[in-house]
Amino acid sequence: MSNVSRVEPFGDGFITALCPELMLFAGMLLLILVPNLGKGTFRIPGTQIRLPWLLGGTRFKFSSDPRLPAWIASLTLGGAFLSVLYIFNQGLERVVIVSESGKELLLINGFSRIFELIFFGALALAAFSSMNRLQVKGIGSKVSEHELYNNRRQADFYILMVTCALGMSVVALAQDLFVLFIGLELASFSTYVLVAFLKESKVGVESGMKYFIVGSVASGVGLYGLSMLYLWAGSLQFSVLAATFAVSGTTALPLIGIGFVLVGFGFKVSAAPFHFAAPDAYAGAISPVAGVLATASKAMGMLGLVRMLLIVAAPESSDGSAVWLVCLGAMAAITMTWGNLAALGSDNPKRMLAYSSVAHAGYMLAALTAVGAWNWDAAVAGDASAAAVAVMTALIFHLVVLVAFKLGAFLVLSILESEGGASRLSSLGGLAKREPLLAVAMFIFMISLAGVPPMAGFLSKLLVIMGIVRIAVGDMGAEIADGGIYVLGDMHWVWWLALLMVINSAISVFYYLRVVVVMFFDEPEQGREGPLPGGWQVRVAILACVLTTVLVGVAGDSLIRLCEMAAQSLNYNW
């Protein structure tokens, strides 16, 4: 572990190393305090002396502004995002936070940082665009300015956003499986509440309940898997687990343990068959939250899987027989097909996007499978580590750009939602006439989701496919050049996942295009002919998403390099 500085909690360099996280923490505190600032006084007991202590009472004008929590949260999350970017720009220092007993708790490197970028970026966009748009009266009614101003729940919402970010960043940094799990739970609990935030509506609470119940079962299974691993290895440190795994990894206990943990993360990435609650949750939650679920939360689950499978179980696969590979491959195939098929007939745009995010989870799982197969056959595996880095890069890249267009699509829906619902495809009717630029933005998101060039979605899908194919082909090219004779059947079976993936992309075009057709072709629903509700924040957020989608699609090289750097930092073996 060279080049890594070890830092103890609150020791030297702790604050600089964890600057973004600490910013979040401070932001959380501010969110709790600032909206409560008022002319409240504290009467010294037994006296009539009232000392102004600024909490409670009649709130100040600035502190009663309903936009304040949103601003604080956005600035906090945005600041965290920018600080991570700044850190990247400065040149990343690898730092590991160790406990007093020498246990590694958190590791700061490119890989964890880039995931933080995803989390903070998605949440910042969601927070910023929810400003003014947060519905409190349930889906179907417009929010009056008055209702908005008098609602203190604004603060709760944004606090949850920030705690969510905090939990996610813990997941990103964790070097101990249990720490990771705690972060995961922190983020999960926040999202449960965020999903159920619209408690005044039937669908809001219902979605929250389902998400909560199924999520809890999944994390229960995961925790039990953790306990099995602990029972087997005696520690949940990644390094210890990996070392133990290399010795006795193929016994039943750790394997089933890993399988259980996989269930816990599988729910987060909404992999089939753990995805069932996801469409319901997305449909019931308000759109920015659904967007967060589809991007940041999914990235978190993916991160867990990567840590679990590639760090813990990778040594086991060095002999070319990763046992979880088949399992993951099957899951990937089922997930992408299921998601696409289900989305095909869905009339609710949010459910459709939910199923599409299931499909995207399938693509990412396929990539993960490919990483797992990275040195499947010594004869033809070739420069396997480079290949594995390539797939990992693709996976990260996909998660990063997904924020732009998946969240962007949800944000467009959120505008419609604040107008009175976006639960039918026809709600989008005539969008091209009502607000052409918004329709164009949605169009860009849709074709990007479908993987049509020159959007970022194409590049990411291309990278994933390229990664898979690269793993599958291995070093055959060099072998052929040396006179080896190979047939297509000699490739690793993950190649078929790539084929399934392109076929699925083709299917997916159908439902993405349907949205476009409705926007550009159909007439608006009755009573929705007029202009859309205003709000520059959400439009700025959408613009940011559009620009990212297009620019990354057209000139994605630097982002690819960033992701590659992150992927390289994942494992010393590579």
Partner 1 sequence: MSGAEATTTVHSEWMQYAPLIILLPMIAFAVILFLGRVFNGHPFWKNTLKEGGLIALPVMGASLILSLLLISEFLKGNSGVDDIFEKIAWINTGLWDGGSTTESVSFGFGIYVDHVTVMLLFVASFLCLLINVFSIGYMNTDPINDNRNHRFYAEFVLFCSGMLGMVLADSFLWLFIFWEIMGLCSYLLIGFYYERPSAASAAKKAFLTTRIGDVFLMIGLVMLWDLFGSLDYAVVFDTQNIEAVAENSAGTLQWALGLMFIGAVGKSAQFPLHVWLPDAMEGPTPVSALIHAATMVNAGLYLVARMFPFFGAEALHGDLDDLAFIIAAVGGITAVMAAAIAFVQMDLKKVLAYSTMSQLAYIFTGLGCAMYLANTLDWHNDSDAHYIVVVAFGASLFHLFNHAMAKGMLFMASGSVIHEVHHAHHHLHHGDHGDDHHDDDFDAQSMENMGGLASKMPITATAMLIGSASIMGLPFIGGFWSKEGIIANAWRVAQDDPRFLFPAMCVLIGAAMTGFYMSRMWLKTFAGKPNNEVAAHVGPTNIWIKTPLFILTFVTLSSVLLAGMGFTHWAADTEYSFLSEKNILDGILYEMEHAFANSDAFFFILTYVAIFLSAILGPGIAMALYGGKLADGEVTKPWMRPVVRLSAWVNKRFHFDNTAFRESSLATALENRLYIDEYYDKAMINIVAGFSNKVAEADTEVIDGTIKAIESGSQSLSTAVRSLTTGSARDYILMVAVGTLTISLLIWGVA
Partner 2 sequence: MIDPAWVSALSALMFVIGLGGAFTRKNAIIVLMCIELMLNAANMQFAAAAVHHGDTTGWVYTLFAIAIAASEVAIGLAIFLAVYGQHETISLDDVDVLRN
Partner 3 sequence: MQDWISMPLVGFPLIASIVLLAFVSNTNESMRKRLADPIRMATFVFSLVLLAITTGMFFKYFGNVSWEGISFNNYEFLHRYSWVESLGIHWSVGMDALSFPMVWLTTFLLPVTIIATWNEKNGATYFPILLAMGGALIGVFVSLDLFMFYVFWELTLIPMFFLILIWGGADRKYASQKFFIYTFTASVVMLLGLITLYFFQNPSNPLDYAGSMTGRTFDIPTITQHALMENSDGNWYLGANIQKVLFGMLMLGFLVKLPAVPFHTWLPDAHVQAPTGGSMLLAGVMLKMGAYGMFRLPISLFPHALEYFQLALLIIGMVSLVWGAIVCLGQTNLKKMVAYSSVSHMGVILVGIATMQPMGWAAALFMMFAHGIISPMLFAVCGAFKHHYHSMEIGAMRGMAKHSPWLATSMMFAWMASLGLPLLAGFVAEIMMFIALWHFLAAEGWSVFWMVGPALVLAVTAAYYLWSMQRTIFEGGDETQPPSSLHGGPVPDIANPEKLAMLLLAFFTIVFGVMPWIALDMMHDWTIQIFEGLILPVLGDFNGGA
Tell me which residues touch partner 3 (CB under 8 A): 382-383, 386, 389-390, 393, 436-437, 440, 447, 450-454, 458-459, 462-463, 465-466, 469-470, 472-473, 475-478, 480-481, 485-489, 495, 498-499, 502-503, 505-506, 509-510, 513-514, 516-517, 520-521, 555-557, 560-561, 564
- How far, in Å, CA of 566 to CA of 568, rounded? 5
Rounded-to-integer distance, Cα 312 and Cα 326, Å: 17
Report if residue 314 touches partner 1, rule: CB under 8 A.
Answer: no
H/E segment holding residue 106: strand 104-108
Taking CB under 8 A as the criterion, the residue among 111, 181, 245, 260 binding partner 1 is 260
How far apart CA 520 and CA 522 sit, in angstroms, is: 6
Instruction: Please list, in sequence order, all residues whose beta carbon lies within 8 angstroms of the beta carbon of residue 565, skipping any fewer than 6 positions away.
Output: 110
Q: What is the largest CA-CA distance in the chain?
A: 97
Taking CB under 8 A as the criterion, the residue among 179, 255, 299, 515 binding partner 1 is 255
Radius of gyration of the chain (CA): 24
Residue 521 beta carbon to partner 3: minimum distance, rounded to whole angstroms: 6
Q: Which of 463, 445, 464 is nearest to 455 (CA)?
A: 445
Window 214 to 253, contacts with partner 1 (CB under 8 A): 214, 217-218, 221, 250-252
Return the HEC string of 242-276.
Answer: HHHHHHHCCCHHHHHHHHHHHHHHHHHCCCCCCCC
Helix (H) / strand (E) containing 541: helix 536-554
**304 belongs to the binding site for partner 2 (CB under 8 A):** no
Asked if 518 and 426 count as a contact pair (C-beta separation under 8 A), the reply is: yes
Residue 182, binding choice from partner 2, partner 3, partner 1, none, Cβ under 5 to 8 Å by partner class:
partner 2
**What is the total count of residues that contact partner 1 (CB under 8 A)?**
41
- Does residue number 256 form part of the binding site for partner 1 (CB under 8 A)? yes
In sequence order, what are the residues at sequence separation of 6 or more whose Cβ sits closer than 8 angstroms to the Cβ of residue 382? 474, 475, 476, 477, 478
Query: In this chain, which of 73, 139, 242, 262 binds partner 1, going by CB under 8 A?
Result: 262
Nearer to partner 1, 232 or 260 (CB): 260
Tell me the C-alpha distance between 308 and 263, whole Å: 11
Angle at 537 between CA 533 and CA 542, to 5 degrees: 90
Question: Residue 185, interface with partner 2 (CB under 8 A)?
Answer: yes
**Residue 103's binding partner, choosing from partner 3, partner 2, partner 1, none, with beta-carbon cut-off 5 to 8 A by kind?**
partner 2
196 binds partner 2 (CB under 8 A): yes
Binder of residue 414, out of partner 1, partner 2, partner 3, none (CB less than 5 to 8 A by kind): none
Determine, following the binding rule CB under 8 A, whether residue 565 of this chain makes contact with partner 2: no
Distance CA 354, CA 342 (A): 10
Does residue 207 touch partner 2 according to CB under 8 A? Answer: yes
| Contact partner at residue 241 from partner 1, partner 2, partner 3, none, CB < 5 to 8 Å by partner kind | none
Burial class (CB in 10 A: 0-12, 13-18, 19+), 527: exposed
Which residue of 56, 273, 436, 534 would you call a contact of partner 1, by CB under 8 A? 273
In the complex with partner 2, the residue whose CB is nearer, 217 or 334, is: 217
Where along the sequence are the contacts to partner 1 (CB under 8 A)?
209-210, 213-214, 217-218, 221, 250-252, 255-256, 258-260, 262-263, 266-267, 272-274, 276-277, 279-280, 323-324, 326-327, 330-331, 338, 341-346, 507, 510
